[in-house]
Amino acid sequence: TPGGTLYDRIGPEALAELVTRFYELVAQHPDLAPIFPTDLTETAEKQLAFLTGFLGGPPLYHERYGHPRLRARHLPHVITPKRGRAWLACMNAALRATPSIATADAQEFYAALTRVAAHMVNTPDAGQ
Protein backbone atom coordinates (compact mmCIF):
# COMPACT_ATOMS: atom_id res chain seq x y z
CA THR A 1 0.00 0.00 0.00
CA PRO A 2 1.41 3.39 -0.85
CA GLY A 3 1.17 5.90 1.99
CA GLY A 4 0.63 4.61 5.52
CA THR A 5 3.57 3.58 7.64
CA LEU A 6 6.79 2.02 6.44
CA TYR A 7 5.41 -1.22 7.89
CA ASP A 8 2.27 -0.93 5.72
CA ARG A 9 4.41 -0.40 2.63
CA ILE A 10 6.94 -3.16 3.33
CA GLY A 11 4.57 -5.75 4.79
CA PRO A 12 5.18 -8.68 7.15
CA GLU A 13 6.45 -11.17 4.53
CA ALA A 14 9.18 -8.92 3.13
CA LEU A 15 10.17 -7.89 6.66
CA ALA A 16 10.53 -11.54 7.73
CA GLU A 17 12.62 -12.24 4.59
CA LEU A 18 14.83 -9.27 5.39
CA VAL A 19 15.44 -10.40 8.97
CA THR A 20 16.30 -13.94 7.81
CA ARG A 21 18.80 -12.60 5.25
CA PHE A 22 20.24 -10.16 7.76
CA TYR A 23 21.10 -12.89 10.29
CA GLU A 24 22.53 -15.14 7.55
CA LEU A 25 24.96 -12.29 6.86
CA VAL A 26 25.63 -11.58 10.55
CA ALA A 27 26.46 -15.28 11.11
CA GLN A 28 29.09 -15.07 8.34
CA HIS A 29 30.56 -11.71 9.32
CA PRO A 30 33.97 -12.05 11.03
CA ASP A 31 33.42 -8.97 13.27
CA LEU A 32 29.83 -9.81 14.24
CA ALA A 33 29.59 -13.60 14.52
CA PRO A 34 31.77 -13.72 17.70
CA ILE A 35 29.31 -11.60 19.74
CA PHE A 36 26.11 -13.35 18.59
CA PRO A 37 24.76 -16.73 19.72
CA THR A 38 25.42 -19.66 17.36
CA ASP A 39 21.70 -20.33 17.15
CA LEU A 40 20.16 -17.09 15.94
CA THR A 41 16.54 -18.32 15.93
CA GLU A 42 15.44 -16.44 19.04
CA THR A 43 17.48 -13.35 18.18
CA ALA A 44 15.80 -13.21 14.77
CA GLU A 45 12.33 -13.65 16.31
CA LYS A 46 12.96 -10.78 18.71
CA GLN A 47 14.36 -8.58 15.95
CA LEU A 48 11.35 -9.26 13.70
CA ALA A 49 9.02 -8.37 16.58
CA PHE A 50 11.03 -5.21 17.32
CA LEU A 51 11.25 -3.98 13.73
CA THR A 52 7.51 -4.58 13.23
CA GLY A 53 6.74 -1.97 15.89
CA PHE A 54 9.69 0.24 14.94
CA LEU A 55 8.30 0.61 11.41
CA GLY A 56 4.84 1.53 12.70
CA GLY A 57 3.22 -1.92 12.77
CA PRO A 58 1.80 -3.74 15.80
CA PRO A 59 3.99 -3.40 18.94
CA LEU A 60 4.88 -7.11 19.02
CA TYR A 61 8.14 -6.73 20.92
CA HIS A 62 6.50 -4.71 23.71
CA GLU A 63 3.62 -7.21 23.94
CA ARG A 64 5.88 -10.26 24.13
CA TYR A 65 8.97 -9.05 25.95
CA GLY A 66 8.19 -5.66 27.53
CA HIS A 67 10.08 -2.42 27.01
CA PRO A 68 13.05 -3.07 24.70
CA ARG A 69 15.58 -0.92 26.64
CA LEU A 70 17.77 -1.41 23.60
CA ARG A 71 20.86 0.46 24.68
CA ALA A 72 20.89 -1.29 28.09
CA ARG A 73 20.36 -4.68 26.42
CA HIS A 74 23.36 -4.08 24.18
CA LEU A 75 25.70 -2.98 26.99
CA PRO A 76 26.87 -6.55 27.82
CA HIS A 77 28.15 -6.79 24.21
CA VAL A 78 31.28 -4.98 23.07
CA ILE A 79 29.92 -2.77 20.27
CA THR A 80 32.63 -0.68 18.65
CA PRO A 81 32.09 1.82 15.79
CA LYS A 82 33.56 -0.88 13.50
CA ARG A 83 30.90 -3.36 14.62
CA GLY A 84 28.24 -0.67 14.18
CA ARG A 85 29.37 -0.23 10.56
CA ALA A 86 29.44 -4.01 10.06
CA TRP A 87 25.87 -4.34 11.41
CA LEU A 88 24.67 -1.59 9.07
CA ALA A 89 26.54 -3.12 6.11
CA CYS A 90 24.75 -6.45 6.73
CA MET A 91 21.42 -4.63 6.92
CA ASN A 92 22.16 -2.69 3.74
CA ALA A 93 23.08 -5.90 1.89
CA ALA A 94 19.95 -7.64 3.22
CA LEU A 95 17.78 -4.71 2.07
CA ARG A 96 19.33 -4.83 -1.40
CA ALA A 97 18.75 -8.59 -1.54
CA THR A 98 15.04 -8.12 -0.79
CA PRO A 99 13.67 -6.65 -4.03
CA SER A 100 10.08 -6.63 -2.75
CA ILE A 101 11.13 -3.68 -0.57
CA ALA A 102 10.98 -0.55 -2.77
CA THR A 103 14.22 1.43 -2.98
CA ALA A 104 12.75 4.57 -1.38
CA ASP A 105 11.38 2.51 1.52
CA ALA A 106 14.72 0.73 1.92
CA GLN A 107 16.50 4.10 2.07
CA GLU A 108 14.09 5.49 4.67
CA PHE A 109 14.38 2.28 6.75
CA TYR A 110 18.18 2.29 6.52
CA ALA A 111 18.41 5.96 7.56
CA ALA A 112 16.31 5.24 10.67
CA LEU A 113 18.46 2.19 11.53
CA THR A 114 21.62 4.28 11.16
CA ARG A 115 20.40 6.57 13.94
CA VAL A 116 19.57 3.67 16.30
CA ALA A 117 22.85 1.87 15.52
CA ALA A 118 24.89 4.95 16.52
CA HIS A 119 23.14 4.80 19.90
CA MET A 120 24.14 1.12 20.43
CA VAL A 121 27.89 1.78 20.10
CA ASN A 122 29.29 1.47 23.64
CA THR A 123 33.07 0.88 23.22
CA PRO A 124 35.77 2.77 21.24
CA ASP A 125 37.58 0.95 18.45
CA ALA A 126 40.75 -0.83 19.63
CA GLY A 127 44.01 1.11 19.44
CA GLN A 128 42.65 4.56 20.20
- Judged by beta carbon, residue 3 or residue 118, the one nearer ligand HEM is 118
Alpha-carbon dihedral sign for residues 105, 25, 113, 45: positive
The residue type found at 12 is P
123: left (phi over 0), alpha (psi -120 to 50) or beta: beta
- Which one, 43 or 97, has the nearer CB to ligand HEM? 43
Which residues inside 83-122 make contact with ligand HEM, applying CB under 6 A?
83-84, 87, 113, 116-117, 120-121
User: Which residue ranges make up the site for ligand HEM (CB under 6 A)?
Assistant: 35-37, 42-43, 46-47, 50, 65, 68, 70, 73-74, 77, 79, 83-84, 87, 113, 116-117, 120-121
